[in-house]
Structures are given as structure tokens and as C-alpha cells.
Chain A
């Protein structure tokens, strides 16, 4: 009789557990770590938030056993290399990296690969061949802005280009897109170029400095985190407002909305989504699950148009960036970049 009770207990336990076991993926006992080099601006903050939200849900759903994030204190490659070595030691199955340097982490990344760890880098990518790279097609985003301007100004326009931090690869890529756009649409003339350093105040100062030497400006292409400063500079100089291509920041979109309500201002905005961290998480999870993916992947850019302005602004917190939530299904739609 006693044995019977025990059997009953075991059977009912098994029946209770079974549905949960089915819900779990093959990666249920795996762990993923995020190694991040910097957390000091709004883009990085929303990137970390997006990681946290996605992974918390994934842990709750039993997709993965754990997904911790680690940020280095000083944005230094040597510190991040040491951090990655510690993560190897802690036995994570995959490491997702936003890297301080595209090359200086290669030694540590190789060690991780050799230890059988899946390494996925995004935004700040690493060049070590064994790692996976997810980044936006920055050149295309520069070209998209110019394409929009070509439609707005079929009869030609003077364009001012506001660039990012000199010497950083992303700035070079967006710039090459703008150059490609200028040669594709010969009516668009780039009459000046300044470095806005991806900062509203730096952009405002730089544009205010160059404005007196420029003819009438019809349009400005920016790289993000600088469009609002550009608008301020034009207002302060008493110049007519040009069409500014924005970078999805809340203050830029809010200003755009205000102008739209006041005088029907029209524009276009494009940038990479900070939720690329959650996309990278799913890529790592899929790789752990045994999926085969190419080592270089393109993440989609997010753009805001005249029609989607209100919906994008809704729910966007002050100082935030337009983002989107990625799910595991988005991984299947990722493309590799066209061979150069």
C-alpha cells in the first residue's frame, strides 16, 4: 500500500513536470553573458534596458538558464579583454560583446572560441573571424537620407553634412553613403561639412561656426544625436529652417512634431535600434540551439517618416530613442551584407 502511494506521487510529479519540459528549448541549461564597454549615453542605456527586458523574459520562459550583463568601468580595451577572460572562466556558453575596440579584443575572443564559446559581437564589432558580427548597414542609412532629399528637391538643393566623431569607423561608413547619394543624385550639392561628434551641443556649435560662410542651405544630413542642435543653430542665426534628416532621438522627433504642427514641416529620420542587443541575444541563443548562421549579419535600420512620426513619438520617454522589440523569429530574417 505504501509503495503504491509512492508510485502515485512519482507519477503525479512526472505528469506535473512534463508540460514544462516541453516548453523548454534545447538551450534551457545554457547561459549567455553580455560584455559591454560603455554605458554613458542614452543609446547605451536603452541598449542595456532592452537586453534586460528580453533576457528576463527568456529566463522566465525557460529558454535559457541565465543571461547576465557586465559593463566595464572605464571603456578600455584591456579591461574588456580581462573581463572576457573572466567570463570564459565562469563557464558561460555564449558571450555577446559590444566592443571597445574592433581589434584589441581579438586575442581574448579567440581564447573564448577555442574554449567552445559562441561569441556574437554587435554595434562595436570585433574583427576576429571566429566571432559573429551584427551591425547596421550604415552606408545604406546615409544613402537613404540622400534618397529622401532627392525626392523632396528634384530641382536641386544645397546640402550641409554633419558628421560624427572623426576617426571612428561608423562615421566613415555613414559619410560614404552620403557621398554615394550625392553622386547618385547630382542635383544635391554638398556645400559644407562639419563634425558634430554625435552630440547636440557640439553639433550646434559646429554648425553655428560654419553657417556665416555658407549660401542658403536647403537640407542638412546628420548622423543622430545632433539634429536638434543643428535646428537650434539655424534658429539662433535667423536662417530659414532647412530639411534636417534626424536620428530617431526623442528631442529631435519632438522638435519635428512641434514644427509640423506649426507650419507643416516635413522630414525623415533614420538610425540603428538600441534593441540590437536583444537581437544579438536571440542570435546567440539560436547558435547555441545548433542553428547555422553566417558570421556577418545586417541588422535592420529603423526609420521614422512623416506618417509614422506620431506613432513613433508615442510612448517614447524623454531622452529616449525609437526602438523596436526583437523576437526569436527576427533572427531568421537577418541577411548577410553584399560582398564588397
Chain B
């Protein structure tokens, strides 16, 4: 769905229709940007009606604190998707980070920090490798996923370990008025939005996904762009793993495997697309929250477990169908 293209193919219409068309496109674009927010609000309202107990500080905290690592993972995935790649190793990477945090970081803080920095370095190298050898990112990251899981099993052959005390205390901070989970999500969304959508460098990063040739011709190093984005993704992955292990207090080599697909779904739900550098950080965070809340809602409705996974898929398809409809509005303005 590369929306603007069919517009340029059309014959130039009369001046007043152009205005009206532009208005339609704007409205459609606004709707498209608002869709992740609207679906989240609808979901939240349904939950509050079903389970009024959720409408409290403690309720929101319980429902959303496991959403923070997913939101961080979604941002990491979004950075990779920005340059039209896909990271299939994210879930196992986050599991690995969690295992490092529950073992090395706890026993030898310095060594643990070095390993985590090394992880970010590995992500940067991956970006360089994928760019310079023109390898498909899906295949490289799929291979890496086995390496991360293997490393996690070596560190922690049986589930266990213990997250550092400061980490456990950090994720349990009680902020005034709004629960910590919501504060983190808001800060995360706004910060990444300002960086990626508003800063000059952010435009360059997105441009590398939208039109790499033009960026290269304009004198930007695509290698450096990819390395930056991959390193940033690795950084958010590390944050996600740390936050997760702070919540669970101990680790398991398989604990976050599900995050790979969740993060991709979160990006797409939040209005991102697989091609063309079209991503939205705020949308991605909202998408991650939507996914988590959809799970809560199904549990509150007491849908039989046999149907739950299907119902979760149905919610996803519903939101995506809405978006396709909005996209169509954008292509064919009234």
C-alpha cells in the first residue's frame, strides 16, 4: 500500500478539486495516525466496563507493567523495519539479555555491563554485515536467534538466577498519579518520536528506508545509517530484557521468544509498514499496548482457552482491516 503513488499517476485535476482532494488525503492521514489510539481507547473502555476494578492505579499497573518490555521490543523492531528489514531474533535476544542480567550482571556487575554493551556491538556488526554483503536480514537474524538461545541456555541451563536488586526496585517504582508503566510508555513514545520524526538525523534514517538510492546520491553513507539503526535496535532490546527480568525477578532461556512476533504485530498495528520507511513510534507503543490489553480483555470475558488464541487473531485482523479501509480513503479521496 504505497499510498501517494497512484495520486501522481492521475491526470492533474482542476484546481478546486485538488484542494478538496488534499483535504481528503489529510483527513485520511489523520484518521490513519489516530487509528492506533482509537483502537486502544475502545479496548480500554471495554475493559473498564467489563472489570471496573481495572480502573485504578493498581489495576492499570497490573495490566500494563508487562507491556513495557513489549513496547521496548516493538520500538527495537520498528527501527529495523524502518530500513525495510525484519528482525526474527529479537525474542531470543531479549531472553539472552534477561539471562545475562540474572546471572552475570548480578554476580559481576562490570562484566555484565560489558557483555550487554557487546550485545549492542553485535547488533551494529549485524547491520554492517547485512548491508555490505547484501544479505537478507530475515535469514541472518533467523540464524542469530539460534545463537542467542544457545548462549542463553549456556548461561542458564536450568531456569533460575536472580535479577539485581536495583533492577527489581527500579521497575517497581511507584510514581505519583500515573503508574510507572504508563509514564515509561509515554516517555518512550515521545522521545523516539522526537528523534525519528522530528530531528534532521531521524529524517535521514527514515529516508534510507523510503528511498535508499536518493539518500546515497545525496552523500549519506547507507552503511552508517544501517549500523546506527541496528545498534539502536540492540540498545532497545537490551532495555526490554532488563525491564522484563526486573519484573519476573529471575530468568528462563525461553522466556521472551514470543516477543519476536508480538513486536512485529505491534509495529504493524501501530501504523507501520514493511516497506518504505513508513513507521510511527507513538503508534508502535500504542500497538504494543493494544496487543497486551487484548489479552487482558479476553481473559476478563472468560473466553474458553480453546478460542482465546483465535480471538486474539480476530482482534488483530479487525484493526488491520480498519486500517486498510482508511488507506483506501487516502488513495481515492472523495
Which 4 pairs between the two chains have the least Cβ-Cβ distance? A71-B305, A73-B309, A103-B250, A101-B252
B309 near A74: Cβ-Cβ < 8 Å = yes
Interface stretch, picked from A104-112, A143-151, A222-230, is A104-112
Quick check: is B302 within 8 A (CB to CB) of the other chain? yes
Task: With A73-B312, A79-B295, A104-B251 as known contacts, state yes or no: A85 contacts B305, CB within 8 Å.
Answer: no
Contacts of B250 in A (CB 8 A): 103-104, 106, 127
Name the distance in Å between B195's Cβ and chain A's nearest Cβ: 27
A101 near B255: Cβ-Cβ < 8 Å = yes
Name the distance in Å between A4's Cβ and chain B's nearest Cβ: 43
Quick check: is B59 within 8 A (CB to CB) of the other chain? yes
Quick check: is B292 within 8 A (CB to CB) of the other chain? yes
Q: Report the Cα distance A137→B235, complex, angstroms.
A: 44
A82 near B66: Cβ-Cβ < 8 Å = yes
Partner of B305, one of A70, A76, A101, A107: A70
Could you give, for residues 46-77 of chain A, a 1 whenever the CB lies within 8 Å of some chain B CB and a 0 otherwise? 00000000000000000000001111111011
Contacts of B153 in A (CB 8 A): 167
18 A-B pairs within 8 Å (CB atoms) are namely A36-B305, A70-B305, A73-B309, A74-B258, A76-B257, A77-B252, A77-B255, A79-B258, A82-B66, A85-B62, A89-B51, A90-B299, A90-B300, A102-B160, A103-B248, A103-B249, A106-B249, A127-B250
Name the distance in Å between A137's Cβ and chain B's nearest Cβ: 19
Task: Show the binding face of B for A, using Cβ within 8 Å.
Answer: 51, 53-54, 59, 62-63, 65-66, 69, 153, 157-161, 244, 247-252, 254-259, 292, 295-296, 299-300, 302, 305, 308-309, 312
Task: With A78-B256, A169-B158 as known contacts, state yes or no: A104 contacts B248, CB within 8 Å.
Answer: yes
Task: With A76-B258, A82-B296, A102-B159 as known contacts, state yes or no: A89 contacts B63, CB within 8 Å.
Answer: yes
Report A99-130 residues with CB < 8 Å from chain B CB.
101-108, 110-111, 127
Q: A78-B258, A79-B258 are in contact. List 18 more A-B contacts (CB 8 A).
A: A76-B254, A76-B258, A78-B255, A82-B295, A88-B62, A89-B54, A89-B59, A90-B51, A90-B300, A101-B159, A102-B159, A102-B160, A103-B161, A103-B252, A104-B251, A106-B248, A107-B248, A167-B158
B257 near A89: Cβ-Cβ < 8 Å = no
Contacts of B65 in A (CB 8 A): 85
Chain A residue nearest to B257 (CB atoms) is A76
Quick check: is A136 within 8 A (CB to CB) of the other chain? no
Q: Report the Cα distance A74→B161, complex, angstroms.
A: 23
Chain A residue nearest to B296 (CB atoms) is A86
Contacts of A91 in B (CB 8 A): 53
Q: Report the Cα distance A101→B156, complex, angstroms.
A: 13
Contacts of A336 in B (CB 8 A): none
Could you give, for residues 8-39 of chain A, a 1 whenever the CB lies within 8 Å of some chain B CB and a 0 otherwise? 00000000000000000000000000001001
Name the distance in Å between B154's Cβ and chain A's nearest Cβ: 12
Q: Report the Cα distance A20→B254, complex, angstroms.
A: 49
Contacts of B62 in A (CB 8 A): 85-86, 88-89, 111
Identify the interface centre among B247, B248, B295: most chain A CB within 10 Å of its CB: B248
Contacts of B158 in A (CB 8 A): 167, 169
Quick check: is A87 within 8 A (CB to CB) of the other chain? yes
Q: Report the Cα distance A88→B299, complex, angstroms.
A: 11
Quick check: is A83 within 8 A (CB to CB) of the other chain? yes
Q: Report the Cα distance A104→B66, complex, angstroms.
A: 12
Quick check: is A220 within 8 A (CB to CB) of the other chain? no
Q: Report the Cα distance A90→B301, complex, angstroms.
A: 11
Contacts of B258 in A (CB 8 A): 74, 76, 78-79
Interface residues on A, range: 35 or more
Quick check: is A203 within 8 A (CB to CB) of the other chain? no
A86 near B248: Cβ-Cβ < 8 Å = no
Name the distance in Å between A206's Cβ and chain B's nearest Cβ: 21
Quick check: is A81 within 8 A (CB to CB) of the other chain? yes
Contacts of B247 in A (CB 8 A): 81, 107
Contacts of A111 in B (CB 8 A): 62
Contacts of A105 in B (CB 8 A): 248
B161 near A73: Cβ-Cβ < 8 Å = no
Q: Report the Cα distance A185→B63, complex, angstroms.
A: 55
Task: With A78-B66, A79-B258, A85-B62 as known contacts, state yes or no: A107 contacts B312, CB within 8 Å.
Answer: no
Q: Report the Cα distance A104→B302, complex, angstroms.
A: 24
Contacts of B308 in A (CB 8 A): 71, 73
Contacts of A70 in B (CB 8 A): 299, 305
Name the distance in Å between B247's Cβ and chain A's nearest Cβ: 5
Contacts of A106 in B (CB 8 A): 248-250
Contacts of B53 in A (CB 8 A): 89-91
Task: With A76-B255, A89-B62, A91-B53 as known contacts, state yes or no: A69 contacts B249, CB within 8 Å.
Answer: no
Q: Report the Cα distance A101→B305, complex, angstroms.
A: 19
Q: Report the Cα distance A89→B254, complex, angstroms.
A: 26
Q: Report the Cα distance A82→B158, complex, angstroms.
A: 22
Name the distance in Å between B290's Cβ and chain A's nearest Cβ: 14
B159 near A103: Cβ-Cβ < 8 Å = yes
Chain A residue nearest to B50 (CB atoms) is A90
Contacts of A71 in B (CB 8 A): 305, 308
Contacts of A104 in B (CB 8 A): 159, 248, 250-252, 255
Name the distance in Å between A169's Cβ and chain B's nearest Cβ: 6
